Amino acid sequence: MERAVVECCWVRMMNNDETELAGLIVSTLNLDYDLKKVSSETPLYGKGLGLDSIDILEIALAISQKYKVTLHSDDENNTEIFRSIGSLNQYIQENRL
């Protein structure tokens, strides 16, 4: 008897803050992206939203204006901060004024 391997992953749905952030990203970059396909773990780079470094700079400016959070291009934690919508939201919530 053959066994089928089924891959499954649990995806945490976005909370209200993450949904707002995803909307800000999509509107700031004028992306044609269905927010219903976005989760907290959706990567910002690569196969997720597919953003590049210029996009991240635009998002950092929009976040600074909306949330009064400063993001620094030389921050050693940027890889983790911008890993996903959830990680970016966590940073924003922890550093809001």
DSSP characters over 73-85: TT-TTHHHHTSBH
Q: Are 76 and 82 in contact (CB under 8 A)?
A: no
- In the chain the domains, ranked by start, together with CATH numbers, are 16-95 (1.10.1200.10)
Q: How confident is the model at residue 12 (pLDDT cuts 50, 70, 90)?
A: low
User: What is the average pLDDT score of the chain?
Assistant: 87
Please give the pLDDT value at position 10: 47
pLDDT tens-digit series, residues 16-59 = 999 999 999 999 999 988 888 888 999 999 888 899 999 999 99
